[in-house]
Structure 1
Amino acid sequence: MNMPDIRQLVPHSGQMVLLDRVLEADAERLCAEVRIHEASILAGADGVGAWVGIEYMAQAIAAHAGWLALQRGEEVKVGFLLGSRKYEANAASFALGSVLQVHVRRVLLSDNGLGAFECRIDIVGGPANAAAATVTVFQPDNVNQFLKDGNVG
C-alpha cells in the first residue's frame, strides 16, 4: 500500500514531526518508522531519551487519525495527548543509528472523541517491545470551540 507523506497525516510542522514515515495502516492499527540520528530533535550524544517514546506513540496515533480522516475524504484535525498508563522502556535511550517501528492499535474510541491505544516501540534488528504503554487521547469535533470554552461537542 502506498502511504501518504507523514506531514499530511500529523498536524505538526517542521522539526516537530518526529516520525519519518508510515509503513502500514488499517482501520484499527498503524505502524510508523523513525530513524535516530545526530540531527534528530532531542538527540544527545547517546541518542534520544526513551522518554521521547511517548511522543513517538502520540504522533503515530495522530497519524492513524489523519490516515482515517483522509480515507473518509475529511481534513486532518488536531487531537490531544491526555496521558499514558504504565509507560515502560527497556533502556534509558534509543541509540544513534537505531530504526524504530512504532505500533499503535486502537482499543477504544467513544463518540465524544476519547480514545485509548495500546502502543509499542520495536527496534529494527534489535529487541521488540523496547517501550510500551497504553495511551489515551482526545480529538474534539471542533478544536477551536474546545480551546475557547472547553465544550467537546
Structure 2
Amino acid sequence: MTASSSGIFPVAASLLIPHRPPMAIVESLEQADSGGALAQAQVEVGSPFVRSDGTVEPLILLEIIAQACAAYGGWLAGDAGRGKRAVFLVGVRCFEVLGKAVAGKTMEIAMTLDKAFGGFHLFRGVLRQDGHAVAQASLKAYHPEEPTTGA
C-alpha cells in the first residue's frame, strides 16, 4: 500500500463511484496524485460483456476507462470520506481499440488529468492488460457538488 495525503491505497472504487454490479467493473484506485492515477479492473468470465471467444466487448473498454477516470475524479474531490457522487460522462474524443482484452484477467488503467475547471475534468486514459495497451481515450466528465447514494 502507498500512503497519500488523501489516504491509503488501494482505495475501493465502490467508495468513489456509485456503480453497482454488473456495471461496477473498476475494482480499485491503486495510486493517485494531482497529475495522474492508476486503477485496476477485471471483467469476470461469464459476464454479459464477454464474447463467446472469451474477449471483452470493445465498447466496454471505454466504460472501464470512464469508470477509472470517474474514480480518480472522485479521489481528487476527496469523495471517499464524503459519500459517492454521480459522475457524468459528457464527452469522448479519440477512443481507440488497440487490441483484445481477455475476461478473467486484471486490467490496468493509467490516467492523467489534462485540465480541471469547475466541476469538469478532462482525462486521458490508457487501458492495458499483460503490459500491452488495449484501448485509449480522452474524455470529459462532470462531477456535481452534491453526493448521491446509488446509480
TM-score by length of 1: 0.78
Q: How many residues align?
A: 140
Partner of 1:60: 68
* Greater C-alpha radius of gyration: 1
Give the RMSD, CA atoms, in angstroms.
2.3
Q: 1:2-151 counterparts in 2 under 5 A?
A: 2-46=9-53, 47-70=55-78, 73-91=81-99, 93-111=100-118, 113-124=119-130, 126-127=131-132, 129-142=133-146
Residue 86 (structure 1) shift: 1.1
> Aligned partners of 1:19 and 1:34: how far apart in 2?
4
Q: Structure 1 residues 107, 37: CA separation in 2 closer, same or farther (over 3 Å shift)? A: same
The answer (yes or no) to whether the contact 2:15–2:83 under 8 Å persists in 1 is no
TM-score by length of 2: 0.79
Partner of 2:5: none
Q: Structure 1 residues 3, 99: CA separation in 2 closer, same or farther (over 3 Å shift)? A: closer
The answer (yes or no) to whether the contact 2:31–2:37 under 8 Å persists in 1 is yes
Can you give the 5+ residue segments of structure 2 that lack an aligned partner in the other structure?
Answer: 3-8
Where 2:86 maps in the other structure, the secondary structure is coil
Q: Structure 1 residues 98, 14: CA separation in 2 closer, same or farther (over 3 Å shift)? A: closer
The answer (yes or no) to whether the contact 2:42–2:107 under 8 Å persists in 1 is yes
Residue 71 (structure 1) shift: 6.7
